[in-house]
Amino acid sequence: MITNKPILLNLSPTELEDLVTGWGEPDYRAAQIESWLYQQAADDAAQMTNLPQALRQRLVDESILSPLTPVMSLDSADGYTHKTLFALPDGQEVEAVLMRYDQRQTLCISTQAGCAMGCPFCATGQMGFKRNLSAGEIVAQVLYYARWLGARQPLVRQLDRAGKQVTNIVFMGMGEPLANYAETWRAIRRLNDPSGFNLGARRMTLSTVGLVPAIRRMSREPEQVGLAVSMHAPTDELRNIIVPLNRRYPLAMLLQTSREYIERTHRRVTFEYALMDHLNDNPTQADQLADLLRGLLCHVNLIPLNPTPDSPWSGSPDERVAAFRDRLQAAGIPTTVRLRRGIDIAAGCGQLRNAHSQGKVV
């Protein structure tokens, strides 16, 4: 339901202060509310026990603490992956996925409802673009999982509690983050801010299909957020099919921009490569990819494709994945294979939303 109430997570510290002082409260109340929202992941004003009762009630009546409503959640059979479908205030739906590892809890979040990039192997691309998320709607996904993991104390007290906090964030869910640049970066700054969620920028990674002007802009940002580029093909002819944006920003331009990014930031770029059976996974294509990347400060993350019902391609079998990896490594390209997680719960971005919209049970 659409409402005119302000979403508190959309407000900057100054805007939040203006709101509470406009209600006749002292300005320090804004910092108290901010602490409850970001450091203690509160989603109920009743939890804000150091606020006067009248202010807590006003927060309930005249603002929105969280713009997300969980619609459904699924756990993988192995217990390492948890996925949630959220409804936004206007009825649009987005997903977030928590992937649990021995030393970290990595959260994959969405920046758009739908996606305009049109990659045919991607469930989100198949649904088309609906709208951009606000910074608060992006941050709210992180705070939901902070609560889910039990991180209700200030984050500084959580650092030694393995498994009880979100340790890493990847902007790799629904949507193209760099197509929603301003709100995505506002969210990054609130997540990074010591008075916000206080997560180090180097613990965040942003994935793009290759919006060249936005990568250049990102290279000038002070926050040291990681960059991952979804490549998926070693030739323009094939990438034009897999990643339609390649027609606007072909590989030569994308790689030159990646070189400039590395020179400016001195940070490694990750190139993501979704392996699709007998489409982009043969030895010649591995050699072509190695030739493109040789000499770059980079890393290749091979991703066996998570199957989607409407994709014309399936994921490469293990033996072809291993052969592709070995060929890249033999050519001196640092390469790893992403551990498959959550296939049984439609963990690929957009899959759960599509299944739910079609009335299907995963």
Residues tagged active-site: 95, 349
CA pair distance 361, 277, nearest whole angstrom:
27
Burial class (CB in 10 A: 0-12, 13-18, 19+), 51: buried
What are the phi and psi torsion angles at 198 (to 5°)?
A: 65, 45
CA pair distance 287, 103, nearest whole angstrom:
33
What are the phi and psi torsion angles at 254 (to 5°)?
A: -65, -45
CA pair distance 52, 20, nearest whole angstrom:
12
CA pair distance 334, 253, nearest whole angstrom:
22
CA pair distance 212, 107, nearest whole angstrom:
25
CA pair distance 84, 147, nearest whole angstrom:
13
Q: For residues 261 and 227, is the Cβ–Cβ distance under 8 A?
A: yes
CA pair distance 178, 221, nearest whole angstrom:
13
